[in-house]
A = this chain, B = another copy of it.
Amino acid sequence: MEAITIKDIAKALNLSTSTVSRALRNSYEINPETKRLVMEYAEKMNYRPNPIALSLKDSKSKSIGVIIPEIANHFFSQLINGIESIAYNLGYHVVIFQSHDSYEREVANTNYLVSRKVDGLLISLASLTTNLFHFQDLMEKGLPIVFLDRVPKEIETHKVVADNFDGSYRATVHLIESGRRRIAHVTSPIYLSITTERLAGYKKALEDFDIPFDESLVKYCIYGGKVVEENEAAMEELLNLPEPPDAFFTASDRLTTGCMAVLQKRHIKIPEEIAIVGFTNISVAELLNPPLTAVVQPAMEMGQQAVELLIRLIEHPQKTGDYEIRSLQTSLILRDSSVGSKVNIKVS
């Protein structure tokens, strides 16, 4: 009934637990015959070592913790799929938690994972996280951490990100070349890395085309579109500007769909009156009305690379420095929300 233990095997075979352990672990000094006996019996009884006991013993768990803002978002669920596929093959389990963009939740999840002795952490920062002590502390204690997507400048470790600057630059250039001049940028809180990078790409594009940057065209949404009112308020202000925007460049799934909903409600024609480009991995972009032009991140691949780096860190602890920052290409997929005809362009 209850799971069989090493002790049971020892008793059955009239051996000591240490001998059994050695046999199972394929250890050095062990009689081949004894080993065979133990192996066979263990196999027959379907013995499985108790991972909890192992964790208690050496503070390891062959599992990694993942903390992301939220699961109900295509970018993040693709990220997870990438993470899982690799981790699974390398024999690690993945424990997923959502921070719901709350600092407190992020800290609580982190503590839990650490107390459960995960071997490493994969983090995409909550938008409300400004204090990084909970991670810095762990890093100093030697816990491997890799950040992805939303990464902190202040912490030195491996990081995997999309080339946000470039994706944003291309999207903006595309809008400009399509004749837009008043391009609004609706984005996430300013203290997220993705926000500043995307903002920078946006600004650079304007600059390259000699369009003056207008602060009033940029809206930072603390809740990233999760609070409908916030999003609507931002849209409201933009649309009521003396010189309203002729295009929207939105920085996330929620922000994008939120904006589209508002435009639709107001019966504003897309793209005739206002064009829209979203930085989003939403799966049904093609089916939207109109089909949505999007900057798509290689989410799956980002997840894969991040775990690879993490597991490398776990299995071959580095002394110091020499951390990688991998920046992956995004793709700009052109659709009707910003142009008439459909074209796919791989951004380099």
Contacts and interface: CB of A to CB of B under 8 A. Distances in A.
Interface of A: 1, 3, 48, 50-53, 55-56, 70-74, 77-78, 80-81, 84, 93, 95-96, 98, 111-112, 115-117, 141, 257, 260-261, 264, 282-284, 286-291
A260 B284 CA distance: 10
- Identical chains in the assembly: 2
Nearest to A81: B72
A7 to B, nearest CB: 14
A50 B61 CA distance: 14
Contacts of A74: 72
A106 to B, nearest CB: 13
B286 A287 contact: no
Contacts of A80: 71-72, 98
Contacts of A115: 3, 48, 50-52
30 contacts: A48-B115, A50-B56, A50-B115, A51-B115, A52-B52, A52-B55, A52-B56, A52-B115, A52-B116, A52-B117, A53-B56, A71-B71, A71-B77, A71-B81, A72-B74, A72-B283, A73-B77, A77-B77, A96-B96, A257-B283, A257-B287, A261-B287, A264-B286, A264-B287, A282-B284, A284-B284, A284-B288, A287-B289, A288-B288, A289-B291
Given A1-B141, A48-B115, A288-B289, 15 more contacts: A3-B115, A50-B56, A51-B115, A51-B116, A53-B56, A70-B77, A71-B71, A71-B77, A71-B96, A72-B77, A73-B77, A77-B77, A261-B287, A282-B284, A284-B284
The 4 closest A-B pairs by CB, nearest first: A289-B289, A72-B77, A71-B77, A52-B56
Given A84-B98, A289-B289, A290-B289, A93 B72 contact: no
A231 to B, nearest CB: 14
